[in-house]
């Protein structure tokens, strides 16, 4: 391996999206200090454009794939897919945040800067080919997220969410880092391709126990970040307590990036140890689906319900990971794209209905929404049906690919149990629809204000995404299928 | 244009729906007119199918095929044979009638109501025309959504329970069916080296009996819940009873037929050995017979008019599945005709209940009596519907039930003998219902002065009565339409299973030698 201390121009170009995001975040922060109160709206626009630019750059640099910085980063189809995805998630979240922050009286540049830094970390997670680099990306994304979760610092719920998220998240990061250290101790490398090579090489004399212990520690960290059982407890509390747009962000951006990282570690480094990973992943996937779905059945707070739902969805994606195959990786990628649209869309409507101070986040507050705001009720129904997995929405093909991949990998029982789980999930999504359409508005629930421009655009984009992926899934699936084998 | 005829039939309601979404919510008259026009256009568009259908041709007609998701081998592949033709015609006709009937009845949220009906029309037609298994599944699941809203928003007092039960039951059955579909898909890829969901291709599969049985049971769960077969029928009385009248009509007339159609189109031809397997046939026949008798007996005991009609569906659909698993020409043809008949007769019976419910807002049989004095025309129409459902000769019900019993008799005398009491009970609960509600003196003050049928209600009933009569008097064209496709299915089931039995026999001989 040629190690040069000075990165070449080509290598820097491959790092362009992260550079753009970091610079954008810095400028938004400076703008916060320099601009008058009246022109703060421009900061949101600036953040949005930065994310757009980063996504475009990610596509642009993908024309010349390869590694950068001594094989620490890799630009391939897989990293491009996730870079674009997390940037898109960031854009949607910026759109739904503007009005919310104004109403809450906390409209400031820091919020957008934190989103940009977090997305930068997520892009780095998507593109890293090395565990230390992954860890840096993870921390960059996580620390910004911790602050975001407690963004409304006068709000007690926010404080609780941020503290929980920070303490448990740091713990998980420590586990992950400890796993990296062990792996280094066992194999003498933190490069994922190297790990794979050593595991495949019988003459390398790999200490199997040490490696397994390291893998277990990595798994703990990853399971926490994707909110997989038994490390899912933080998610409901954090999603419920955090500001609604931040909950939307947490449920998608960091999660997608964590899954990118999970896939990269699993498919690039640990495929040779498939036999040991499979039973563990099998159990984790099933437990995650079951806990998420059955806990969601009893929720009365919509944010909390969506939190458990997002745990269940992590379970479905873990089914795809359990397959440990190219089709499984492609299915997980497609699912995350579908999930981004439908979940941010659902949270966007929740943000809107919640109103000032998020006083209306109980299930009861959605009763009769179809009368108070027919368009919002219709749009939320679309997202919920997509989360259920009804055909012609993105969620259907998402689930279809995952269970197809599971069957392809002979995981018949996991597929059966997963499918039954998805039928259970229909119940709690339908409960919200029942509230909106089949109950009258509660007394005193007045007309809702007209939604802001940002939310409208975010909803339009999410509905479009949900339907496009549901009717013409080939657009994304073919790309995912083509880039999944690059992980090996 | 003519090569896209089937697509036009399929997407007319959806196109109408898209326009409907942009109509102003307040202008309910415009919305009603538009929905009726769309439904009428859908029906008119389907008529050329009937006229241009070639009864003598083998295989599928009006076939259209385009790639949809090439990387998975999913295509937009549609076409019809005689069986699907009849069910498509039933769908477009009953859709028009149900939407037309709703004109005065539905006075809340008209826009959403008609949107759901139109979406449902496309979904149901899609189920009957899909020749790609995944496309079929997409339509199959899609149908759940509008019916869920129709029951849940415009339904009766226990609508929430009924709607959710309907959705969850059928969804659970559906996902397991999906596993069966995927199994065939992977088996095909293993044998032929490419991925496809086309049923014409999947029929070429040569699967061991054990695997066919597994897949059969997976399909069974999906289809049997939809039919519904005993013991999966419990969602039906709730859904039927709580749905608004037009919803019950569509549910009974068309939606249940998706299950029986699934057996005929997919289970039998794709899994011929499992379908002819002795254990499976016995289980299916026994469940059908239980459904026939149990449904009829429970109907006898109902206090609720609409629930009685709902349970009678369990009994009638038992005849349909009995015919299918008699696995001969008479049984299957009779089953398809009976599916059509059940659509017409039970559709009429639900409309009958709807008409009186609009006037009195109660469905309890005890509230009525002597209505024939107050509403003579209504009594005549009801008598007609009742006799058609009970299977009086010269009316449609007779043709179907008789042919099914003939088929069952050919297969086993016992099956026919056990099914016959179902016919008797069927006459009993209907006649008793008629007697309790229509005949005698008017005992309830509230029933005096009820208006007789309006012109709109006449307009709903007359076409159905004519249709029932023509099938009863001259069923020949229907049998002709069904002859080819039914013969093909029967041939396929018997040929494959006997071929295998012979192969087994020769193998055993070889071993014993």
DSSP state of B76: E
User: Which of A326, A408, A423, A470 has the highest number of chain B CBs within 10 A, making it the mutation to test binding with B?
Assistant: A423
Using CB atoms, pick whichever of A374, A385, A473 lies closest to residue B69. Answer: A473
Q: What is the pLDDT of residue A346?
A: 94
Using CB atoms, pick whichever of B145, B172, B183 lies closest to residue A423. Answer: B172
CA distances in angstroms from A164 to A119, A159, A239, A240, B356, listed in the order given? 21, 9, 11, 12, 61
Answer yes or no: are the C-beta atoms of B377 and B123 closer than 8 Å.
no
Q: What is the pLDDT of residue A402?
A: 93
Say how far apart CA B453 and CA B459 lie, in whole Å: 10
Judge whether A427 is closer than 8 Å to chain B, CB to CB: yes
Q: How many domains does chain B have?
A: 1
pTM over cut 0.95: no
The alpha-helical segments, DSSP class H, found in A265-373 are 274-296, 302-323, 326-354, 369-372
Answer yes or no: are the C-beta atoms of B378 and B371 closer than 8 Å.
yes
Instruction: Confirm whether A2 is domain-assigned.
Output: no
Kindly list the residues from chain A whose CB atom is less than 8 angstroms away from the CB atom of residue B167: 426, 430
Q: Judging by beta carbons within 10 Å of its beta carbon (0-12, 13-18, 19+), is residue A362 exposed, middle or buried?
A: middle
pLDDT band at B499 (very low <50, low <70, confident <90, very high): low
Q: What is the pLDDT of residue A102?
A: 84
Answer yes or no: are the C-beta atoms of A53 and A20 closer than 8 Å.
yes
Say how far apart CA B353 and CA A128 lie, in whole Å: 67
Say how far apart CA A277 and CA A283 lie, in whole Å: 10
Give the closest residue to B321 by CA, choosing from B223, B239, B402.
Answer: B223
Query: Whole-number mean pLDDT of chain B?
Result: 88
Smallest CA–CA separation between A470 and chain B, in Å? 10
Cβ pairs bridging A and B (under 8 Å): 77
Kindly list the residues from chain A whose CB atom is less than 8 angstroms away from the CB atom of residue B176: 416, 419-420
CA of A385: which chain B residue's CA is closest? B145
Question: What phi and psi values does residue A96 have, to the nearest 5 degrees?
Answer: -80, -10
Chain-chain contact of B142 with A390 (C-beta, under 8 angstroms): yes
Q: How many domains does chain A have?
A: 1
Answer yes or no: are the C-beta atoms of B452 and B375 closer than 8 Å.
yes
Residue B322 CB coordination number (10 Å): 31
Both structure tokens of B399: 């043709």
Say how far apart CA B62 and CA B5 lie, in whole Å: 7
Give the closest residue to A388 by CA, choosing from A355, A357, A433.
Answer: A433
Q: What is the pLDDT of residue A451?
A: 84
Kindly list the residues from chain B whose CB atom is less than 8 angstroms away from the CB atom of residue A419: 175-176, 178-179
Q: Which residues of chain A from 8 to 37 reach within 8 Å of chain B, CB to CB? A: none
Instruction: Confirm whether A4 is domain-assigned.
Output: no
Say how far apart CA B501 and CA B487 lie, in whole Å: 21
Chain-chain contact of A370 with B186 (C-beta, under 8 angstroms): no
Judge whether A430 is closer than 8 Å to chain B, CB to CB: yes
CA distances in angstroms from B401 to A121, B292, B313, B404, B485, listed in the order given? 70, 12, 14, 5, 20
Give the closest residue to B251 by CA, choosing from B168, B166, B159.
Answer: B166
Say how far apart CA B130 and CA B124 lie, in whole Å: 10
For chain B, the straight-line distance linking the first and the last C-alpha, in angstroms and rounded, comes to 64
Kindly list the residues from chain A whose CB atom is less than 8 angstroms away from the CB atom of residue B72: 477
Structure confidence by residue, pLDDT tens digits, B94-136 = 999 999 998 888 888 888 899 999 999 999 999 999 999 999 9
Instruction: Confirm whether A202 is domain-assigned.
Output: yes
Kindly list the residues from chain B whose CB atom is less than 8 angstroms away from the CB atom of residue A422: 175
User: Which of B74, B76, B138, B217 has the highest number of chain A CBs within 10 A, making it the mutation to test binding with A?
Assistant: B138
Judge whether A466 is closer than 8 Å to chain B, CB to CB: no
What residue ranges of chain A have pLDDT lower than 50?
1-2
Q: Which residues of chain A from 377 to 396 reach within 8 Å of chain B, CB to CB? A: 385, 388, 390-392, 396
Q: What is the pLDDT of residue A1?
A: 45
Using CB atoms, pick whichever of B70, B138, B171 lies closest to residue A423. Answer: B171
Q: What is the pLDDT of residue A259?
A: 94
Kindly list the residues from chain B whose CB atom is less than 8 angstroms away from the CB atom of residue A377: none
Give the closest residue to B251 by CA, choosing from B104, B404, B354.
Answer: B354
Smallest CA–CA separation between B171 and chain A, in Å? 6
DSSP state of A75: E
Mean pLDDT of B4-15: 90
Using CB atoms, pick whichever of A385, A419, A438 lies closest to residue B175. Answer: A419
Structure confidence by residue, pLDDT tens digits, B444-479 = 888 888 888 888 889 989 999 999 999 988 988 888
Q: What is the pLDDT of residue B488?
A: 87
Instruction: Confirm whether A412 is domain-assigned.
Output: yes
Kindly list the residues from chain B whose CB atom is less than 8 angstroms away from the CB atom of residue A423: 168, 171-172, 175
CA within 13 Å, CB half, A448: 26
Chain-chain contact of B138 with A385 (C-beta, under 8 angstroms): no
A410: left (phi over 0), alpha (psi -120 to 50) or beta: left
Residue A445 CB coordination number (10 Å): 17
Instruction: Confirm whether A1 is domain-assigned.
Output: no
Give the closest residue to A122 by CA, choosing from A174, A158, A176, A86.
Answer: A86
Chain-chain contact of B178 with A385 (C-beta, under 8 angstroms): no
Smallest CA–CA separation between B451 and chain A, in Å? 31
Handedness of CA B368, B372, B375, B378 (dihedral sign): positive
Instruction: Confirm whether A258 is domain-assigned.
Output: yes
Handedness of CA A452, A453, A458, A459 (dihedral sign): positive
Kindly list the residues from chain B whose CB atom is less than 8 angstroms away from the CB atom of residue A415: 179
| Residues listed for chain A | 488
Tell how far CA B448 is from the center of its chain.
Answer: 37
Instruction: Confirm whether B53 is domain-assigned.
Output: no
Instruction: Confirm whether B176 is domain-assigned.
Output: no
The range of the structural domain enclosing residue A448 comes to 10-487
- The beta strand positions in B16-153, using DSSP E, are 61-69, 74-80
Using CB atoms, pick whichever of A412, A419, A478 lies closest to residue B178. Answer: A419
Instruction: Confirm whether B468 is domain-assigned.
Output: yes
Chain-chain contact of B179 with A404 (C-beta, under 8 angstroms): no
pLDDT band at B203 (very low <50, low <70, confident <90, very high): confident
DSSP state of A441: P
Mean pLDDT of B189-203: 88
Instruction: Confirm whether A442 is domain-assigned.
Output: yes
Q: What is the pLDDT of residue B59?
A: 84
Kindly list the residues from chain A whose CB atom is less than 8 angstroms away from the CB atom of residue B71: 474, 477-478, 481
Tell how far CA B327 is from the center of its chain.
Answer: 19
Instruction: Confirm whether B256 is domain-assigned.
Output: no
Kindly list the residues from chain A whose CB atom is less than 8 angstroms away from the CB atom of residue B137: 391
The range of the structural domain enclosing residue B442 comes to 290-474
Say how far apart CA B370 and CA B351 lie, in whole Å: 19
Judge whether A45 is closer than 8 Å to chain B, CB to CB: no
3-state SS, residue B75: strand
Instruction: Confirm whether B379 is domain-assigned.
Output: yes
Answer yes or no: are the C-beta atoms of A239 and A307 closer than 8 Å.
yes
Q: What is the pLDDT of residue A38?
A: 64
Judge whether A420 is closer than 8 Å to chain B, CB to CB: yes
User: Which of B171, B181, B186 has the highest number of chain A CBs within 10 A, making it the mutation to test binding with A?
Assistant: B171
Question: What phi and psi values does residue B277 have, to the nearest 5 degrees?
Answer: -65, 135
Instruction: Confirm whether B148 is domain-assigned.
Output: no
CA distances in angstroms from B351 to A15, A410, B245, B246, listed in the order given? 68, 50, 6, 8
Smallest CA–CA separation between A195 and chain B, in Å? 32
The angle formed by the CA atoms of residues B486, B488 and B489, to the nearest 5 degrees, is 65
Instruction: Confirm whether B425 is domain-assigned.
Output: yes
Structure confidence by residue, pLDDT tens digits, A239-268 = 998 999 999 999 999 999 999 999 999 888
Instruction: Confirm whether A136 is domain-assigned.
Output: yes
């Amino acid at each position: 391996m040629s190690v040069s201390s000075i990165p070449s121009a080509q290598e820097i170009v491959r790092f362009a999206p992260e550079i753009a995001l970091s610079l954008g975040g810095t400028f938004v922060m400076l703008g916060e200090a320099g601009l008058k109160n009246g022109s703060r709206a421009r900061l949101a626009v600036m953040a949005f454009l930065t994310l757009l630019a980063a996504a475009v750059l990610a596509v642009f640099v993908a024309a010349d794939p390869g590694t950068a910085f001594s094989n620490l980063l890799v630009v391939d189809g897989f990293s491009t897919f996730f870079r674009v995805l997390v940037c898109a998630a960031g854009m949607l979240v910026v759109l739904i945040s503007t009005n919310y922050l104004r109403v809450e009286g906390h409209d400031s540049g820091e919020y957008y800067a934190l989103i940009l830094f977090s997305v930068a970390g997520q892009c780095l997670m998507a593109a890293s080919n090395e565990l230390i680099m992954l860890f840096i990306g993870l921390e960059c994304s996580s620390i910004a997220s911790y602050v975001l979760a407690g963004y409304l610092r006068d709000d007690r719920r926010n404080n609780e969410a941020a503290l929980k998220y920070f303490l448990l998240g740091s713990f998980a990061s420590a586990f992950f880092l400890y796993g990296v250290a062990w792996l280094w101790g066992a194999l003498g490398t933190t490069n994922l391709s190297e790990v794979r090579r050593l595991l495949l090489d019988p003459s390398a004399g790999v200490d199997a126990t040490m490696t397994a212990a390291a893998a277990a520690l990595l798994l703990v960290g990853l399971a926490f970040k994707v909110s997989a059982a038994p490390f899912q407890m933080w998610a409901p509390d954090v999603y419920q307590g955090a500001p609604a747009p931040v909950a939307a962000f947490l449920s998608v951006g960091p999660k997608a990036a964590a899954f990118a990282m999970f896939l990269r570690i699993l498919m690039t480094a640990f495929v040779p140890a498939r036999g040991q990973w499979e039973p563990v992943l099998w159990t984790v996937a099933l437990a995650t689906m079951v806990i998420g779905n059955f806990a969601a059945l009893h929720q009365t707070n919509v944010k909390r319900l969506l939190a458990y739902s997002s745990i269940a969805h992590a379970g479905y994606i873990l089914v795809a990971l359990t397959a440990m195959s190219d089709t499984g990786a492609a299915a997980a990628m497609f699912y995350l794209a579908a999930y981004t649209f439908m979940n941010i869309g659902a949270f966007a409507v929740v943000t809107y209905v919640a109103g000032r101070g998020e006083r209306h986040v109980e299930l009861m507050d959605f009763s009769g929404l179809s009368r108070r705001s027919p368009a919002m009720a219709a749009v939320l129904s679309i997202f919920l049906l997509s989360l259920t997995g009804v055909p012609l929405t993105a969620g259907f093909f998402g689930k279809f690919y995952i269970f197809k991949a599971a069957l392809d990998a002979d995981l018949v029982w996991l597929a059966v149990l997963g499918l039954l789980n998805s039928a259970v999930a229909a119940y709690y999504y339908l409960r919200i629809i029942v509230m909106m359409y089949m109950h009258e508005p509660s007394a005193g629930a007045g007309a809702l204000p007209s939604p802001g421009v940002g939310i409208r655009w975010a909803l339009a984009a999410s509905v479009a995404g949900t339907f496009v992926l549901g009717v013409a899934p080939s657009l994304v699936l073919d790309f995912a299928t083509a880039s999944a084998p690059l992980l090996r | 244009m003519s090569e896209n005829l089937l697509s036009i039939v399929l997407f007319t309601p959806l196109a109408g729906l898209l326009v409907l979404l942009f109509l102003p919510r307040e202008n309910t008259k415009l919305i009603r007119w538009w929905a009726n026009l769309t439904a009428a256009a859908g029906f008119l568009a389907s008529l050329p199918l009937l006229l241009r259908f070639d009864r003598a041709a083998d295989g599928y007609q009006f076939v259209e095929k385009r790639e949809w998701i090439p990387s998975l081998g999913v295509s937009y592949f549609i076409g019809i044979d005689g069986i699907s033709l009849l069910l498509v015609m039933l769908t477009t006709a009953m859709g028009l009638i149900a939407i037309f009937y709703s004109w005065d009845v539905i006075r809340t949220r008209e826009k959403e109501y008609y949107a759901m009906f139109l979406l449902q029309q496309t979904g149901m037609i899609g189920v009957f025309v899909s020749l790609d298994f995944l496309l079929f599944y997409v339509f199959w699941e899609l149908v759940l959504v509008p019916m869920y809203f129709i029951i849940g928003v415009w339904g009766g007092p226990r609508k929430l329970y009924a709607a959710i039960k309907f959705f969850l039951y059928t969804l659970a059955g559906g996902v397991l069916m999906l596993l069966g579909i995927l199994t065939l898909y992977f088996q095909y890829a293993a044998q032929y080296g490419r991925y496809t969901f086309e049923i014409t291709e999947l029929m070429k599969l040569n699967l061991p009996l054990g695997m066919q049985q597994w897949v059969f049971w997976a399909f069974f769960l999906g289809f049997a819940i939809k039919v519904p077969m005993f013991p999966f029928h419990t969602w039906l009385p709730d859904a039927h009873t709580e749905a608004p009248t037009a919803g019950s009509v569509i549910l009974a007339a068309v939606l249940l037929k998706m299950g029986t159609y699934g057996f005929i189109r997919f289970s039998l031809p794709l899994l011929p050995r499992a379908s002819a397997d002795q254990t499976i046939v016995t289980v299916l026949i026994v469940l059908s017979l239980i459904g026939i008798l149990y449904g009829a007996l429970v109907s006898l005991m109902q206090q609720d008019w609409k629930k009685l009609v709902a349970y009678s569906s369990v009994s009638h659909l038992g005849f349909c599945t009995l015919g299918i698993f008699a696995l001969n020409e008479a049984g299957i043809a009779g089953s398809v005709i009976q599916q059509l008949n059940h659509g017409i007769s039970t559709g009429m019976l639900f409309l009958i209940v709807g008409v009186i419910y609009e006037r009195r807002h109660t469905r309890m049989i005890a509230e009525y009596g002597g209505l024939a004095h107050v509403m003579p025309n209504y009594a005549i129409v009801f008598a007609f519907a009742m006799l058609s459902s009970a299977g009086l000769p010269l009316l449609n019900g007779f043709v179907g039930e008789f042919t099914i019993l003939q088929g069952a008799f050919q297969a086993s005398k016992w099956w026919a003998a056990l099914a016959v009491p179902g016919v008797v009970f069927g006459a009993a609960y209907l006649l008793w219902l008629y007697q309790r509600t229509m005949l005698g003196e008017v005992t309830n003050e509230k029933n005096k002065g009820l208006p007789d049928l309006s012109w709109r209600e006449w307009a709903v009933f007359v076409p159905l009565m004519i249709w029932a009569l023509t099938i009863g008097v001259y069923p020949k064209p229907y049998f002709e339409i069904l002859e080819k496709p039914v013969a093909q299915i029967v041939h396929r089931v018997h040929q494959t299973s006997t071929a295998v039995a012979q192969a087994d026999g020769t193998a055993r001989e070889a071993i014993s030698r």
